[in-house]
Amino acid sequence: MWVAAGQFSVSADWQANAQECVALMRTAAERGVSLLVLPEALLARDIADPDLSVKSAQMLNGGFMQQLKAQSRQDNLTTILTLHVPSTAGRAVNTLVALRGGEVIAQYQKLHLYDAFNVQESRLVDAGSVVPPLLEVGEMRAGLMTCYDLRFPELALSLALQGADLLVLPAAWVRGPLKEHHWSTLLAARALDTTCYIVASGECGSRNIGQSRIIDPLGVTLAGAGATPQLIMTEVFQQQVQEVRAQLPVLTNRRFALPQLL
């Protein structure tokens, strides 16, 4: 099965951002991709207005998603992304959506809000409260995560113990000292913790690092992007997950119970 991660610089214009998503979906579909992961918080972004993502929040039947659904009806992709959905007045939920056949087939509200490195996502965003179910994509079972979730191994491990073969991660990883190092290290660590593939898409631009990655179950980068708009892709194999888990059975060798999750 072919998987891809697409990255671009999110602008302040949600209609332009929708068209960027549609273009990446169309290209991925033309190249025979089954799973496409796009970045986090795609509606709108402006470095001069850090609240724009929430101010621009739309319902899942809004104009942004209608454009993506129209493209989805024309391809065989499963497309993963996140956008802000209104909750209460002035607030929103950072919502991951899985789109296939023109419909939202799964969604996940981000559990771990980015209250770190002088950013406070929880100021305007409500946290989710449910560990997402797995999503069937071809021969793979995909676990859903979003950006800052990457720093919390319990979620990735929980998804692997449910039976995930592959983890998807839309992200907008903020630039800063050592942040690129954290990103690459954590992606490899979560792959090794879980013996899962990881398909991670990072928004690029002046605020975020880009550097989308597709990682194999032994923590090896199979495909990687730099800091500019790009679509990366590679083939993944459920049989490789089985072979790695036979050689490195960390999921069955565990001696500690997973802490009770939500």
**Angstrom distance (rounded) from CA 92 to CA 32:** 35
| pLDDT tens per residue, range 67-109 | 999 999 999 999 999 999 999 999 999 999 999 999 999 999 9
110 is catalytic: yes
pLDDT of residue 261: 66
User: Domain 2-253 class?
Assistant: alpha beta
Across the range 132-156, mean pLDDT stands at 97
204 is catalytic: no
- Structure token pair of residue 101: 């056949």
DSSP letters for the chain: -EEEEEE----S-HHHHHHHHHHHHHHHHHTT-SEEE--S--S--BTTBTTHHHHT---TTSHHHHHHHHHHTTS--EEEEEEEEE-STT-EEEEEEEEETTEEEEEEE-SS--EETTEEGGGTEEPP-SPPPPEEETTEEEEE--GGGGG-HHHHHHHHHHT-SEEEEEE--B--TTHHHHHHHHHHHHHHHHT-EEEEEE-BSSSBB---EEE-TTS-EEEE--SS-EEEEEE--HHHHHHHHHH--HHHH--SPPPP--
Pick the catalytic residue from 20, 21, 40, 203: 40
pLDDT-based confidence at residue 262 (cuts at 50, 70, 90): low
pLDDT of residue 256: 87
Pick the catalytic residue from 20, 110, 196, 203: 110
Domain ranges of the chain: 2-253
Q: Is the model's pLDDT at 131 over the cut of 80?
A: yes
Across the range 51-61, mean pLDDT stands at 96
147 is catalytic: yes
Pick the catalytic residue from 20, 21, 121, 147: 147
